Structure 1
Amino acid sequence: MELDKRQAADSGEGCLVGVIRVPVKIVALIVVLPVRVVWDLLVAFGQAVRRHVLGPLSVYVVQPALRAAGLVLTVLLKLVFVWPWVGSWRFVLEPLHLHVLAPGGRLLYAYLLRPLGEALARIGRGGMRYLLAPLAKGVAWTGWALCMILFVWPWVGLWRYVLAPVGRGLLWLAGVVHRYVLTPVGQALLWLGGAGYRYVLSPVGQALVWLGGAFHQYVLTPVGRALVWLGGAFHRYVLTPVGRALVWLGGVAYRYVLTPVGQVLVWAWHVAGRILRAVWRAVRLVGRVVVGWPVAQVYRHVLTPVGHVVREVWRTVRTTVRQARADVRKALFGGPGREPVRSRARTLGSTTAVSNTPAPESPLPQRQG
């Protein structure tokens, strides 16, 4: 206790750190230390069993047994599935093929199959030359004769003895009708058409042309001139005064009505914009006073100190637990306490430790003054 007080006094730690460190050390000695000791003993026991029992057992018992079982299984599989077929092929099927089937096949081919094939080939050539070829020629000639009798000669006789004479007669009759009937009738119709055009259509057309000219000269021209005069008078004495009056009315309305109304609308738009800007500034000011300033004060005067206190308490607890573990290791195994690798001091920007001894840590920053 005196040593802890001296260390606390040397490091400049406050009473809050001492009050938190003592319960944490007690909890570490009662809970963490037995669990850590049991865990280390279990790890050492497991390593010893693996090194002195499981390793030799695997090397000298399990692996030889597995190799022997694999060799026996390989021999059994070969004995059941490989050697019977290899022996049957080598000592039964191959000698039977070499000494029985192959010589018998050669003899059968040389003295039976080849002479029989040659005899059949001679018989086939003779039958083709003296039987099948004449028979095929007779069948082909009979078929050609039947086709000619059934499909060619009837149509040829019909064309030669029926259709050709009838066609010639019809052509002669058509020539006679054209020469002695159609030609005189056509000439008579042409003469009648020329006479009708000369003595009927031409006088009627001339009369219609004269009537059209007279109607245009004595009817359409005076009416068109009258309509043009009326249109000019209507434009001069009606449309022009009315248009001038409408233009004057439009100018008066633009000058004395639309311009003042537009100026009033522009002024109202600017006034509305100023009012909206003032309202927005007021809303911003109210939000800053009602929400922003209280939140900033709470963060500055409440949350920040609470966060500092929580951080200091966490650092104190962590440092106390590490020191308790180091003291227990030193008491059990002797020698200086060794911190975990992750807690060793490291150089800036590097992952290598400065030394094997842990760097002194202070849970709280040194307070001055």
Structure 2
Amino acid sequence: MDLQKPSAGRPARPGGGEPHGSPEGCLTAAIRVPVRIVVLVLVVPVRMVWDALVVTGRFLVDTLLRPLGRALLWLGRAVLVLPFTGLWRYVVVPAGTVLARLGHVLVVVPAGWLHRSVLTPAGRALVRAGRGVGAALAWVYAHVLTPPGHALLWVLKGTGAVLAALGLGAYTAVAWLVRHLVVVPARWLYTWVLAPVGRAAVWCARGIAWLVSALITGVGAALYRTARILFVLPALAVWRWVLAPVGRVLGVVGREVRDALGHAWRIAGHLSLAVGRFLATLFRWILVEPARRVYRSVLTPVGHVVRDAVLRPAAEAARGAGRAVRQALAAARETARQIRADVSRTLFGEPAGRRIADRREPVGRGTRTLGSSTTALTKD
């Protein structure tokens, strides 16, 4: 129960509750604080565990699952997609093209030739033969069967007319007997016996139906009043004086629990964020900063010293040794080439018609100098 009614000028909240700043009932004020304390105590561990799981899941997704998924995607592409693509492109499509061409050559072309050269002339011949047979049958029907049929129909009509003239008197006598022996007694029976009996039966049925309807209506009204007194009024009283107040109390409790859960979840989020930042700062101070300082103060100078004192001289020495070895191998190849040429010249002599190629650069007209010119006016 509210201590005061809300003012008419203040808008109500969308949920149907009280507007912010309006006075609330004593039940709401008594329930809110303990419910929020209990919910906060229960929700904070759940929110911290949830945030820890979220951070762990993001870390696993970024460091393990996404690279693993990319590797599996690449592996699946390399193992499944590319082989099937190559099989489709280089085996199935050429085979299908070859089979299509073979089908066209072996099936379509012979079938077309058979249709054009055999079936079409045979069909046309059958159509012409059918038209001739139909014309012959039509002529037979028109000139052979129709005249005898007309004659037979004329004979039958004449015979029927003669028979009708002979049997007219007998038909009149039979009709008079049927009228006076069957029709007149049946009409009298319907008018003076069956119709009154039917009307009496209908009137009795209507009276019985009215009596049954009145009886059912009275019984239904009595049952309705009895059920209303025994069931409806007690249920209405229970709903009005028990269930509705309990429902309002439970609604207030549920609304406060919902609001308490929302506030507790937000407060737990801030607490979890603060704890996470504290743990991150502690991890950075304990591990990251010392490791960075060791890397900058110790490992980097030692690496520079090792690079300048050991690696670079070793690299220079390796490059010098490589150059010396290459020069020695080039000299050995040149010496072997000269020895092979001298031996060949000693054993077989100088080859005839062989002209020694001049490997020097060709001599031109003359290089340009400051005193020369290539223009048309100053050319020598």
Give the TM-score category using the shorter length: 0.3 to 0.5
Name the TM-score, length of structure 2 as normaliser. 0.32
Write 1 or 2 for the structure with the bigger share of helix: 1
Name the TM-score, length of structure 1 as normaliser. 0.33
